[in-house]
Amino acid sequence: MIAVLLHPVFGRLFAAQVVALLGTGLLTVALGLLAYELAGARAGVVLGAALTIKMVAYVGLSPVLGALVAHWPRKAVLVGTDLVRAAVALCLPFVSEVWQVYALVFVLQAASATFTPAFQATIPDVLPEEEDYTRALSLSRLAYDLENLLSPALAGVLLLVMSFHWLFLGTVTGFLGSAVLVLSVALPRTEPRRQRPFRERLTRGIRIYLATPRLRGLLALNFAAAAVGAFVLVNSVVIVRGVYGGSEADLALAMAGFGGGSMVMALVLPQLLHRVSDRRVMMQAGAGLSMLALAAGLFVVLLDAPGWRVFWLSWVAVGALYAAVLTPAGRLLRRSAHEEDRPAIFAAQFALSHACWLIAYPFAGWAGATLGLGAALALAGAAGVVAVVLAGRFWPEGSGAPIVHEHPDLPPDHPHLKAHGGRRHAHVFVIDDEHRAWPTQG
């Protein structure tokens, strides 16, 4: 896996991702402390509103901003959004009102909603070989998990010698470092086959996504992962402190178990996906994740909470299954669109997957507080089971094989007909200008 880091372009792009993630991790800690300084006991309300703004920006703005910058040079988009994020982080230490925090968070997350899909869509072009791309996806998963573990520790060390306001400077440094690293590489140029009106650019990614069976299945699996993942992220503190009477260190240990399981799976996945299909890995992981949550929730409801060691091991298993569901998603997106449409389809995945989290987060908090933790976990698992069943219906086996279909609407001299030998032919199917609907039969 490490060999892919020797690639001259990907190595620097991965480094850009890592330094930006570290900056984002410092921002999370600093934002919490800033909220407490401004709002005191209502800091939780401020942070909750900031997280809601983040999700709304991700869901609502990602396709819109992606369509706006669709014809811009990719490097300009990545560097420009990094500079916007750095500028916002530089302003945050000087705010004096809560509404200013909300406004700046909205701008920062709007920039992230543009940067992240564009960055993700660039990697398949940099690494055209599927095995290399799979390793890159696993490394990206590792980077996210390590950031969750290391950023709070780094922030804690820095807070021993400086005020939390200086953490924002670390965030600025991370985003500027990312911009410099992106500037230092030559990115592949993608030229659209034709100029499209804004309205078509706005809806194209979502249309391709929802018209492709394996991506409809991916959306259902995204929801299953979000349902269980949101419970872990929202209610772990309540479980550790309230149920087990644990300390802050115990909470860190529980979350390290979740992240550690995810990292182990990320290391295993490249070899596993070399032997087993994406569908089988993702469907079985989604089923395992949902059934584990359902069984654990029912166990708590009927018998009481298990011992600490069993709880910790279950969080490790949840983390591993969660990663197995989500990490291969980039491979499905890569296969489901031509090069010119990848930014749009990655933006669609970004928006739709975060829409799942926008539903799952408040439900996990409400259910845990109202119905009890066991019932909330069981409901999250049940929702996941339903989503996995739907994923199996949306994404039939063998949907990646060549499909026989016809083009009665194309002129006889159309280049597509000439390339494939007539109106009736077979090839691996992708939704595009010549293929606007998935064939219902061969």
Per residue in 418-440, pLDDT tens?
A: 777 788 887 878 888 778 788 87
Place of tokens 């880091």: 5
- Kindly state whether residue 370 falls inside one of the protein's structural domains: yes
- Do 165 and 27 share a domain, yes or no? yes
End position of a domain, from candidates 155, 190, 225: 190
Specify the pTM. Answer: 0.88
Q: How many domains does the chain have?
A: 2
- Kindly state whether residue 420 falls inside one of the protein's structural domains: no
Query: Which residue has better confidence, 38 or 419?
Result: 38
Query: Which residue has better confidence, 268 or 45?
Result: 268
- Do 7 and 30 share a domain, yes or no? yes
pLDDT, mean of residues 325-345: 89
Q: Which DSSP state fits 40?
A: G
For 405, phi then psi, to 5°, come to -155, 170
Q: Which domain holds residue 120?
A: 1-190
Query: Which residue has better confidence, 90 or 52?
Result: 90
pLDDT digit string, tens, across residues 96-142: 888 999 999 999 999 999 999 999 989 998 998 888 999 998 989 88
- Do 287 and 238 share a domain, yes or no? yes
CATH of the domain at 64: 1.20.1250.20
Q: Is the pLDDT of residue 359 over 50?
A: yes
- Kindly state whether residue 335 falls inside one of the protein's structural domains: no
Q: How far apart are CA 120 and CA 10, in angstroms?
A: 12
Pair of tokens at residue 30: 């600093």
pLDDT at position 349: 93
- Do 20 and 101 share a domain, yes or no? yes
- Do 150 and 229 share a domain, yes or no? no
CB atoms under 10 Å from CB of 418, counted, come to 10
- Do 362 and 252 share a domain, yes or no? yes
Confidence of residue 193 (pLDDT cuts 50, 70, 90): low
Q: How far apart are CA 103 and CA 378, in angstroms?
A: 37
- Do 285 and 308 share a domain, yes or no? yes
pLDDT digit string, tens, across residues 198-222: 778 888 889 999 999 999 999 999 9
- Do 186 and 233 share a domain, yes or no? no
Q: Is the pLDDT of residue 389 over 70?
A: yes
32: Cα within 13 Å, side-chain hemisphere: 8
Q: Is the pLDDT of residue 442 over 60?
A: no
Query: Which residue has better confidence, 396 or 200?
Result: 396
Pair of tokens at residue 66: 């992606």
- Kindly state whether residue 415 falls inside one of the protein's structural domains: no
Helix (H) or strand (E) holding 424: strand 424-427
Confidence of residue 406 (pLDDT cuts 50, 70, 90): confident
- Say if residues 316 and 296 touch (Cβ distance below 8 Å): no
Helix (H) or strand (E) holding 405: strand 403-406
- Say if residues 231 and 377 touch (Cβ distance below 8 Å): yes
- Kindly state whether residue 341 falls inside one of the protein's structural domains: no
pLDDT, mean of residues 290-294: 97
